[in-house]
Chains A and B, each alone.
Chain A
Amino acid sequence: MVGTVLSGAADGGADDAAVDTSGLSRRFGSLDAVSGLDLRVERGQIFGFLGPNGAGKTTTIKMLCGLLEPTGGSARVAGCDIRRDRAAIKRATGYMAQAFSLYPDLTSEENFRFFGGVYGIQGREADRRLEEVFSQLDIEGIRRTEAGALSGGWKQRLALACALVHSPRLLFLDEPTAGVDPSQRQRMWDFLYELCEGGTSLFVTTHYLDEAERCHSVGFMLGGRLIAQGPPATLRERLRHRLVGAEVQRVVEATRALRGLTGVSDVTIHGHELRVLFEAPVDWEAAAGRLHEVAEGAGAPLRRVYPLEPTLEDLFIGYARGHATAA
């Protein structure tokens, strides 16, 4: 098994969380990269950390990993205070950076053994761990390949292997699937679930919203603030009865017209389908009349109007758009 089974009973109360922050903040000069972050990630879960570029995701991860000193607030990671127990956090957590950060001139095995050694894993224990992790991630075939010669998906898997060398209870992954083809992404997620079942908590940032749907819980960052957190289904519920679909030939004109309608928060184009987001829950059949009318007036008549199941992408775009107009 990859990962260590939790020893849960040992610490109780608030320490049950994998990550628990309160008012966590980081300023860079006059820029509030992260402000007043109150985030709670339960143990044994995959937590998806979402948000547009520059929202403060990487800054948050770096603070939680001890790479960056917070300028305000507090946080507990794997039950340890990030200011006082840095050493303990480092042993309990793994970090897989956004950019490939292994040694390209070392082989996969040498990279793995190096990071193992740094965590004090050597000799027979290192051999055992190598067999275990490499077979789990199915990278035995690249043991003697120099890391720099690997393609994207293999690199990511090797990076994951190195982040797992010390059996962390909590793993931070910053964009683990960026630039990786869909089948390799699929593999990566299989590994992450396997890890999670083994008892490891995972904290994952991603740009792929279909991946976010697979997380047990997600948080949205925007402009350095956490604007929503909860299970994807719960968050999607917020959009229930607010999303209406419309099929149309002339999508650009129709979009422009519908966006001007009062009560409409946003319209996004998906091929010949428009996804119309209302500011408040509406009865789609009642709304259909107004939509038809406005589109007709713009010379882009709608073929049909129907209710839509909200996705995280709708939510995300809704938040991001709201932020952009507010800013």
Chain B
Amino acid sequence: MRNVYHLALKEFLHLWRDRRTLVFLLLMPSIMTVLFGYAIGNPKVTALPTRVLDRDGGRIGSEYVEAIGGSLTFRPEVVEDATEDDVARAEEDLRTNRLAAFVVLPEGLTRDADEGRPAKVRVVVDASDTFAAPAILRELASTTVQQNSFLAANLRVRDGKARTTEDGLHQVAPVELAHELRFNPDLKTQNFVMPGVIGLILQLLTVIVMSTSIARERERGTMDQLAVTPLTPAEIFVGKLLPYFLISLVVTVNVMVLAWWLFGVSLSGHLPVVAALVVSFILGSLGVGQVISIVSRNQSQAVQLAVFFILPAFVLSGAFTPIETQPEAVRPIAYLFPLTYFCRGFRAALLRQATMADLRVDLAAMALFVLVAFGASVLLLRSRRD
């Protein structure tokens, strides 16, 4: 046992010398606990951007507005005296992901309902998010039920056709909720999850594989041998990146085909859009891997740093569950990770046939990431020489 003690002591000495690993070991679990606890501790979709197009202007309309406004699920905006143009605009905003849903309160809703004629409230939901869509429908359904219970009770009792409110409730439902599910009408969960899973796989592959590459050269002492050759830092960067870029592309095609073949995931996006998303995401992630590799002294440090980057990306990016399930305070952190933009853009491209223009924000964010990671890598390679 005494031998074991000395071995253990030596391990502690290694850790003590490698301060970065020590700090990492002691701090990371706490940071992750706090972050993930807030982010996924209570997965409930909240603050979904929802627009109410009020063409009625009557009592029922305002009650809907009130009910939606009072629910945590929605972040509502109300358009009073909405026109057909407003409805068309809402459709477009739904397609471009600015809205999760919109509700159309038709003209004459209050009057029809009061007079016992059937009235329809239209709910149009982006069903590509299979977590948010059911939550929206649930909330609106309960609102509608509430409305109906009042109306039914009042009408039936007034007309003497029902003795009690309960009686009346069974007899008629004057306000009908007519839902229209867009982009993923079967509410197929794989359609939401698989683009995220593909993002996760690419994230893991690219960052881990790239992060060890330059660290390995340094560990083996071959970095100096490379540095005396005419290769410039930019050439070393590109030469290191290229093989992993090509492999990542092959992997992307593989997993997309599998997702389509096994899970019937829709792959009907515009090819240039899908390609732009995949290429910019892979390049950005490989760039991050290179930065990690250059600042690491050896491969094990590189892998630790890579995990430190990948784990929060996995949890916060909305790959498995939409960002809307996280508290609003945590969400901004997600936008530090390219995976967030990729998942959002990839879903939009595959399920909503988004165009380049629709995804300009996500593409620009990822392009910026590529630029920063590439620039930092080359500068670091240049300065690390001395």
Query: Which positions in A face B, CB cutoff 8 Å?
Result: 62, 65-69, 87, 90-91, 93-95, 97, 99-104, 115, 118-120, 162
Q: A67-B385, A68-B386, A69-B386 are in contact. Are A103 and B228 (CB under 8 A)?
A: no
Give the distance to chain B from A224, nearest Cβ to Cβ, in Å. 17
| Sample of 20 further A-B pairs with CB below 8 A, known A94-B228, A115-B225 | A66-B228, A67-B228, A68-B385, A87-B230, A90-B229, A90-B230, A95-B224, A95-B225, A101-B220, A101-B221, A101-B225, A102-B222, A103-B220, A104-B220, A118-B226, A118-B229, A118-B230, A119-B229, A119-B230, A120-B230
Give the distance to chain A from B220, nearest Cβ to Cβ, in Å. 7
Q: A67-B385, A68-B386, A69-B386 are in contact. Are A101 and B224 (CB under 8 A)?
A: yes
Chain B neighbourhood of A103, CB < 8 A:
220, 222
Give the distance to chain A from B250, nearest Cβ to Cβ, in Å. 22
Taking CB atoms and an 8 Å cut-off, the chain B residues in 216-245 that contact chain A are: 220-222, 224-231
Give the distance to chain B from A115, nearest Cβ to Cβ, in Å. 7
Point out which of B220, B225, B230 has the most chain A C-beta atoms below 10 A from its C-beta.
B225
Number of interface residues of B (CB under 8 A): 13
Point out which of B224, B228, B385 has the most chain A C-beta atoms below 10 A from its C-beta.
B228
The 5 closest A-B pairs by CB, nearest first: A101-B221, A95-B228, A101-B225, A118-B229, A99-B221
Contact of A97 among B224, B230, B385 (CB under 8 A): B224
A91 contacts B230, CB within 8 Å? yes
B225 contacts A102, CB within 8 Å? yes
Chain B neighbourhood of A93, CB < 8 A:
228
Bound CA–CA A95/B221 (angstroms): 13
Give the distance to chain A from B132, nearest Cβ to Cβ, in Å. 49
Bound CA–CA A146/B224 (angstroms): 20
User: Which of chain A's residues has its CB closest to B232's CB?
Assistant: A87
Give the distance to chain B from A82, nearest Cβ to Cβ, in Å. 12
Can you show 26 pairs from A to B with CB atoms below 8 A apart?
A65-B228, A66-B228, A67-B224, A67-B227, A69-B385, A90-B230, A91-B230, A94-B228, A95-B224, A95-B228, A97-B221, A99-B221, A100-B221, A101-B221, A101-B225, A103-B220, A103-B222, A104-B220, A115-B225, A115-B229, A118-B226, A118-B231, A119-B229, A119-B230, A120-B230, A162-B225
Chain A neighbourhood of B220, CB < 8 A:
101, 103-104
Bound CA–CA A104/B219 (angstroms): 12
Point out which of A69, A91, A100, A118 has the most chain B C-beta atoms below 10 A from its C-beta.
A118
Chain A neighbourhood of B231, CB < 8 A:
118
Bound CA–CA A87/B224 (angstroms): 15
Bound CA–CA A91/B228 (angstroms): 9
Point out which of A67, A93, A120 has the most chain B C-beta atoms below 10 A from its C-beta.
A67
Q: A67-B385, A68-B386, A69-B386 are in contact. Are A101 and B230 (CB under 8 A)?
A: no
Chain B neighbourhood of A95, CB < 8 A:
224-225, 228
User: Which of chain A's residues has its CB closest to B236's CB?
Assistant: A118
Bound CA–CA A115/B226 (angstroms): 8
Give the distance to chain A from B235, nearest Cβ to Cβ, in Å. 9
Chain B neighbourhood of A91, CB < 8 A:
230
Bound CA–CA A90/B229 (angstroms): 6
Chain A neighbourhood of B226, CB < 8 A:
118
Chain B neighbourhood of A100, CB < 8 A:
221
User: Which of chain A's residues has its CB closest to B230's CB?
Assistant: A90
Taking CB atoms and an 8 Å cut-off, the chain B residues in 176-226 that contact chain A are: 220-222, 224-226
Bound CA–CA A97/B386 (angstroms): 16
A97 contacts B225, CB within 8 Å? yes
Give the distance to chain A from B223, nearest Cβ to Cβ, in Å. 8
Bound CA–CA A90/B385 (angstroms): 15
Give the distance to chain B from A324, nearest Cβ to Cβ, in Å. 29
Give the distance to chain A from B232, nearest Cβ to Cβ, in Å. 9
User: Which of chain A's residues has its CB closest to B231's CB?
Assistant: A118
Bound CA–CA A100/B385 (angstroms): 19
Bound CA–CA A73/B131 (angstroms): 67
User: Which of chain B's residues has its CB closest to A97's CB?
Assistant: B224
Contact of B222 among A65, A67, A101, A120 (CB under 8 A): A101
Chain B neighbourhood of A68, CB < 8 A:
385-386
Bound CA–CA A19/B163 (angstroms): 111
